[in-house]
Amino acid sequence: MPELPEVESVARALRQNLAGRRLTGLEAPFAGVLDQPLRTTRRALLDKRLVDVHRRGKYMIASFARDGGDDPAHLMIHLRMTGQIFILDGYRPDKHVHVSFDFEGLPVHYRDVRKFGRLTLVEDPLAPAALAHVGPDMLAVRWPEWRRRVGSRTAPIKAVLLDQGVASGLGNIYVDECLFLAGVRPTTPAAALDDATLREILRRARQVLRLAIDHGGTTFLNFTDFYGKPGNFRRQLRVYGRAGEPCRACGGALAKTTVAGRTSVYCPDCQV
């Protein structure tokens, strides 16, 4: 499932390649991924220029407006498990392309094998009502709020970090990675951690996310970036997906457990 770094890489590419372009066509062979009727979505977006793409956690919000900034409209995109947005020269859409955008002759496709992703018109690009349940972005949350949201929770720290209502953007891959760097076992109750450790988890989470963004994210199954290329952060992973292999720090065997229904890999010696 695309997490914050994967979504950020797509959002940046959309801004770099499409900002200022007018949306001249919008087709939806499978309109079920649209939360509003196709005619409503077309009426809101067509003949407007893309002016910005804002990301919050795992969500992207593309803002459109007519020349001069009039009549703005905002499309929120959640890739969920297998959603992809890309442009490829000579690409012929297959049965999994459910929405195609035409930006003045430049085709951009939304492809989603599982059809779980959603494209939703929202009223506010910065604080849409549809995201009222989502916590602050992991790259923006400040220490006092982080401590308040995390420090009193009795659930395992990994379960707390996976909770998008606490802070948004982290998923299974990057939670395992940041907890390894912070030296914290994923099963440790969040409330058992002191302030210094909570600060270290926040610092390490941001470090991992920024490094993953620089590498275009992580690809295991379906994720590709805007140009159809997989993310290459996989080679940087220290623990995720490596159960039974040697720890890159101490050489001991990595172990795995289950937290919040997700497989978690950790080092029994480096994480206490």
Supply 27's token pair: 């087709």
Establish whether 3 is a catalytic residue. yes
Please identify which of the residues 2, 125, 156, 186 carries the catalytic annotation.
Answer: 2
Establish whether 123 is a catalytic residue. no
- CA–CA dist 22, 68 (Å, integer): 13
Please identify which of the residues 48, 55, 56, 58 carries the catalytic annotation.
Answer: 58
Establish whether 2 is a catalytic residue. yes
Phi first, then psi, for residue 256 (nearest 5°) are: -135, 155
Q: Which candidate, 168, 127, 185, places its Cα nearest to that of 2?
A: 168
Residue labelled with tokens 């079920």:
32
Contacts of 157 (CB under 8 A, 6+ apart): 150, 179, 184, 186, 187, 188, 189, 190, 193, 201
Q: How far is CA 193 from the centre of its chain?
A: 27
Give the Å distances, CA to CA, from 153 to 190, 225, 269. Answer: 5, 35, 25
Q: How far is CA 198 from the centre of its chain?
A: 22
Q: Which candidate, 260, 262, 261, places its Cα nearest to that of 241?
A: 262
Check if the beta carbon of residue 201 is closer than 8 Å to that of residue 162. Answer: no
Please identify which of the residues 21, 66, 199, 262 carries the catalytic annotation.
Answer: 262
Please identify which of the residues 3, 6, 8, 177 carries the catalytic annotation.
Answer: 3
Active-site amino acid positions: 2-3, 58, 262
